[in-house]
């Protein structure tokens, strides 16, 4: 990236009291017609939502495997302890930066199913034993993971709205809203 561009970015971010070390900063060009940027990892998260969700699922699947002796043997730890460990060590990995995800219904369903599967593992419920989803949530005190993600999105949205109008998140949100309104106007005219 050209030195002029780096200095320009550094100066723009300085307006928001953000200091940038241009020597250590990585730059990624995000373009609509290319897909490579979605697999770039920034601050521990992939830029593409679908790619990041899949990676989060894989990472959160590793934690219970490492603690399998606790999950499988009910006499070693009480259910409350196992659920607390799950929330601290597994669910937190799965939900890292989830407020930024935009999920499709299919992705929500996959995440809810994945979450329930993990809860059944913690409770040591295996086939042929059956427990309904509502009973599982009630027994564990959990809610569908899609609701937790929705809450995180609303919290992030609230934080953005409380910031000054000229901050980058507000500018991005405003421009996206304008694009959506323009698209809706064009469809209405047709």
What's the pLDDT tens digit per position in 139-176? 999 999 999 999 999 999 899 889 888 888 888 878 77
Same domain as 107, residue 33: no
Same domain as 51, residue 24: no
User: 81 lies in a domain?
Assistant: yes
pLDDT of residue 152: 94
Same domain as 61, residue 18: no
pLDDT of residue 55: 80
pLDDT of residue 10: 80
The structure tokens listed for 52 are 């990041």
Write out residues in the chain with pLDDT < 70, as ranges: 1-3, 25-48, 69-75, 180, 184, 187-190
Mark out the alpha helices in the chain (DSSP H runs).
Answer: 3-14, 49-66, 68-72, 79-85, 92-94, 105-122, 133-140, 145-162, 168-189
User: 21 lies in a domain?
Assistant: yes
Same domain as 156, residue 66: yes
Same domain as 61, residue 32: no
Task: Domain of residue 121: give its range.
Answer: 47-168
pLDDT of residue 62: 81
Same domain as 33, residue 66: no
Determine contact, residues 82/70, Cβ cutoff 8 Å. Answer: yes
pTM (2 decimals)?
A: 0.70
Determine contact, residues 9/28, Cβ cutoff 8 Å. Answer: no
pLDDT of residue 125: 84
């Amino acid at each position: 990236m050209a030195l002029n561009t780096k200095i320009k970015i550094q100066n723009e971010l300085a307006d928001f009291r953000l200091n940038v070390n241009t020597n250590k900063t990585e730059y990624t060009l995000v373009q609509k017609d290319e897909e490579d940027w979605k697999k770039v990892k920034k601050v521990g998260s992939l830029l593409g939502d679908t790619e990041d969700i899949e990676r989060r699922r894989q990472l959160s699947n590793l934690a219970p495997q490492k603690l399998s002796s606790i999950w499988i043997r009910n006499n070693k730890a009480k259910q409350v302890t196992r659920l607390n460990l799950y929330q601290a060590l597994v669910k937190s990995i799965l939900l890292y930066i989830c407020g930024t995800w935009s999920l499709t219904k299919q992705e929500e369903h996959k995440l809810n199913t994945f979450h329930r599967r993990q809860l059944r593992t913690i409770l040591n419920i295996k086939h042929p034993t059956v427990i309904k989803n509502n009973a599982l949530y009630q027994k564990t005190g959990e809610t569908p993971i899609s609701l937790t993600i929705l809450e995180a999105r609303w919290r992030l949205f609230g934080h953005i709205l409380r910031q000054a109008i000229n901050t980058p998140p507000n500018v991005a949100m405003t421009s996206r809203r304008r694009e959506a309104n323009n698209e809706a106007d064009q469809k209405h005219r047709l």
